[in-house]
């Protein structure tokens, strides 16, 4: 695999990972300061952000910048982290 291709793959994954981290931070702030997890606004923000990230990942897969396994793992990891946050917020209510 040419070096430039590897560099693009690494950059694409790093950008997608950064977007996933932003979503996690956004939801952390919402849970800590703004709304409760059962609030419609919380659910709307979460759904919108997750949909956007899934579309970004799909686009990167279609371009061959990441493989499907990497993309799926990135989404699953974020979902696991969000579930942990949600459960912690439910326990503190």
pLDDT of residue 38: 64
Cα separation, 75 vs 71, in Å, equals: 6
Q: For the chain, which residues make up each domain, given as ranges?
A: 3-91
Fold of 3-91: Helix Hairpins (1.10.287)
Instruction: Name residues whose C-beta falls within 8 Å of residue 34's C-beta, 6 or more positions apart in sequence.
Output: 41, 42
pLDDT value of residue 30: 80
For residue 93, the model assigns a pLDDT of 53
> What is the pLDDT of the chain when averaged over all its residues?
86
Distance of CA 89 to the CA centre of its chain: 19
| Dihedral (CA of 8, 6, 71, 11) sign | negative
For 26-66, what is each residue's pLDDT tens digit? 888 887 776 565 677 778 888 999 999 999 999 999 999 99
Cβ count near 45 (within 10 Å): 17
């Amino acid at each position: 695999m040419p070096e430039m291709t590897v560099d693009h793959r690494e950059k694409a994954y790093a950008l997608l990972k950064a977007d996933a981290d932003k979503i996690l931070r956004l939801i952390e702030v919402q849970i800590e300061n703004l709304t409760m997890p059962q609030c419609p606004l919380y659910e709307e923000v979460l759904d919108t952000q997750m949909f956007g990230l899934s579309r970004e990942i799909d686009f990167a897969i279609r371009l061959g910048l990441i493989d499907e396994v990497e993309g799926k793992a990135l989404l699953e990891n974020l979902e696991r982290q969000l579930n942990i946050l949600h459960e912690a917020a439910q326990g503190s209510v």
